[in-house]
Structure 1
Amino acid sequence: MAAPRDDWQRLARLMTVPRPLRKHLLCIIPWFLRSRILSLNMDSDIPTLLYFSQVKDDASAIKWAHATNSLEDLEDVLKDNGVHMIEADVMLRGQGTPTQSLIPVMAQYPSTDSESILEEWLDIFLKSEGKGLKLDFQSTDAVEISLQKLKDRKEKLRMPVWLHADVLQGPHGGKPKVDATRFIRTVNRLFPKCTLSLGWTTGRHTDLSQSGYTWEMVLDMYYLVRKWELEPPIVFVARANLIRNSVPQLKWLIDNTRSSVLIWNPPSDTAHGTDLVYIAYKFPPDNSYFDLNSDDLETFLKEYRHFSKEKLQHIVLQRETVMFRPEAWVKMGLHMEEHSILPSTEALVLTKSLVYIVTKSKFKPKSMIQLRGRVQFIDREQKKAVPGETGLSIYVRPTAYVDYERIVGIKVFLGVDGLMKVSGSHLEVKNFEESQRITPSSVNCFRFRVIDTGSEIIFRVNVLHECNTLESTKQEETIHAELKVPLPEDIGFEEHPFILKLEDSNRVAVFDELDTKYSISTL
């Protein structure tokens, strides 16, 4: 650990760098010195864990006061030393009624009015110190006028300020009441120095076993962040009783946007502690917040926050053995396609045919080597599939692959339409091709296995009717379709990698299982 004097010298240098970099670089200062930084000219975009240095970079230790909409509740919470962040809801007086006015008030649907006016609420909040602020916008109409009120007080807002809205439709949710474009544009214009908090609308359902934040939902959020070029601090908000089937999706989103997650639950929901420790197991302590309306859940989380593995369900651990590992692959092709490959420790998303991935290791087919995985093809732009082209190609024993348009080797193709084909790719061998079809499901999800036995290629595919739930990680024993293709004798036995390539860009391919291994059996 650096000496205190060295830390202060580093801090002095940090204060001279541009503000967008400063808020990230400040994290190199030890937590026990960070409170002194608050005496410097910090703004409302200060990282929350930097401001609350006493929690020692553990976001689960941040305590929330939820729906603090009345002035009486606000005054009580301001006196509570156990609360770090105060959340309140904002709409216009008479929101959605014939008497709607231009006065922002503190209220949450189904209410449409309140005696607590935003300006009065903020003035009371600012009389105290040491608390952070989160405003949850309930309507698009309330955003601009409310942020103007906030901007008028910006000199006094020397604490974390989170601005939140549910801007996309989520599990069992309705159409968002806040327009994403207007919300983000207005925040950027009037109050950009904040933690931007974004969420999905959600709803109640009697059976949540099949529910969760799907890949389509998190991809929508990713492309929203990309469109507006949003930078940290960003937080995505997810409902606790919907995260059981959503951890890989949320973790992928967090990894690819350098953001954090906040898990919340209303008092009426039933959530399970084992789902919370699944989040705790996958997310580091410094980017997973919990706003829980349950003493039991908070106690469970506190007990297992750093020892969560022992409470995980067995299918979570089973998934660990086959999930995508970015360190085992390398990107090739047109590297200017920045968003063509989106990797995470939980999944890989391929979006463009101009870029492909290659295993770092090379394999010699003297014994059986296999690549297995699970892929879901997502139609984000409502484009028609091109027969025989829209899908995934897996190249086995490639001898030339610098040119993404001319990969030389054995091509194993899986089409969105269920076409399975093994053929030569730019080989001199003629008439080397076998194919068959399998009926795809409505979700276009497949589990596949490509086995090089040394003398033949075995291509196995199973059609999955859902691939978003934890239960879908279970491996099937029955094989739905299989191709066995003898290899020509003149295809060499030197070491080669595996290559994965999206053959056209009419679909997005999501791989949440992918690994290679040697095997003594084809089973």
Structure 2
Amino acid sequence: MIMRAPINKVFTTGKMHVSKKYAGRWGGIRIRRPKTMMKRLSALALVAFFITLYLIFQTGRLQGKGGGRGIHRLNLAGIFQQPTRNPFDMKFKGKERMPPTIENLDRAPVSHTADFLLDYFLTMNVDGTQITWLRNTNTRGLLQQALDDYKLMMVEVDVVAENDKSTQNLTAVVAPSDTNVEYNLKLESFLTYISTYSNKGVKLNFDCLDAIKMALKSLKALEFDLHAPIWLAVDVLHGPNADIDKEPVDLQKAVDLVKEYYPPITLSLGWQTDWSPEPVETGYSWYHVISMAKFCVKFQQRASFSIRAVYAAESVRQIKWLLSLSSRFSAVLWLAEHDVVSVSAMVYFRKQTDKKKIFYILPTNFLDELKLTETVAQEDGDSKFDRTLWKPALLDEQSLAFLGKEQAVLEGDNSWLVSKDPHQPGSSGRTNIEVHGNVQFVESPKKSDSIAKFSLFIRCSGVNPPEPKDVHGVKLVILKDGTVTLSSQNLVKAGMYKTQTSAKLPESSCFAFKVIDSGEAQPILCTISIINCKNREEVSSDKSEVSLHLIAPYDDSRQMFFIAVTGGSTAEAIVVENLIIS
């Protein structure tokens, strides 16, 4: 039998010679060596291409096992594309979280999602006004602004349930500011940005159980990333002037969802409310707060009660009682878009309540004015003029008003000071309204035939509008020659009674006055006395003081309760000192 040599080998002189026809073996496959340089390069490129694809696929498959963030599908078109950078990564990545919080003192990051706000943010002054808020952060742009604001502590956002655009499953999303626009930010992404790039807390507002459930699932998915306080806000009861046909969210079902998915949060519980210029209810009743207390004994989460600020001053006793029931209770005051609340009402409310347990989602300028008012009151006591409670109204170019720390100077025929808040007997826990102060007529070198006068209005409409001649209310007039008059102006019902009473004092430059209004059932009482212009002490004389009284029923159709001061002339000014409303 003749044995043939393998086709790739030849035998010569007893030695094996390897043919140049093949390059060698790889994986049991014989690889033919290309004959030209171009063929060699093409072969190498093809091999490198398949190896690259293999490595990409393996990397994605392995990363996908760790939480689904790897490459699950091979996107050949995307291999050569420049990756799109997240705008939040570009702006905030690598920066320290802000603002500084208690977490900076921890040896290892821990969750503070159920912390009390003042404990978490370590405010220097233990006062709820120190917590700063941003409402309606419902767009990516506003979220970036919030993350960039170092002083901002709490971010508020509205959450709704929508069908996911990719999976068509129900998911929690940030409510679009425009209801005609589709959402572009999922709640999970929103929470990721907040927890990754800041130490800010979050208040999530809901109006249905579906949104609450989806949101709690998002919180559960991010439970190891979240660290700052989280509030879940929902209206669960009917409150003052609420539409009883509109059902609030079932609190028990909401609490059950919280317990099931993500218990370490604060429940921000509120009442459905409405407001009008003449509301049927002017505050939260005992029924409202007792009903809330009955619900809250069913769970152990920290609770903060949403209080509409327009009702706060009339509900002090009820709110104080509710907050006193548990150390885990607090309250947050808020304003609707068209609500109007007075600084004095907030000052009164804060004097009666625990400042550590009340937070304020109110306009920044209002809070600044509130803090200033309280500072002045604390420094100067109740016997000093508080300029923050008054606003000037100048109805012509010749009139002027200077508001100092203790005095106001008025000059011109149409210079006014009007209280920022109405003052009606029986409101805000006060049975009487008392207005007192001093007035000094400033002598001028200009000669004038007009007699300088000072006018104080109570139960007043204010001015601009209406015009001064159309102002209605009860008016006290003091002339420099000592003539004193108490009368009604433009009040219809007061015409049924004696409309004016007057008296005469000696001429003087300085007078003290006090007006007490106890409501329409009692006469308005006025006391006017001559005082020494230097030391402000009363002059001892039998004719240095007079008292007047006037009965003036309310005009229901037009009665308002502002307090206004006007006086002076183009030739003379008046100084009003220690003008106080109590």
Give the TM-score of the pair, scaled to structure 2.
Answer: 0.45
Q: Which has the higher contact order (CA 8 A, sep 6+)?
A: 1
Give the TM-score of the pair, scaled to structure 1.
Answer: 0.50
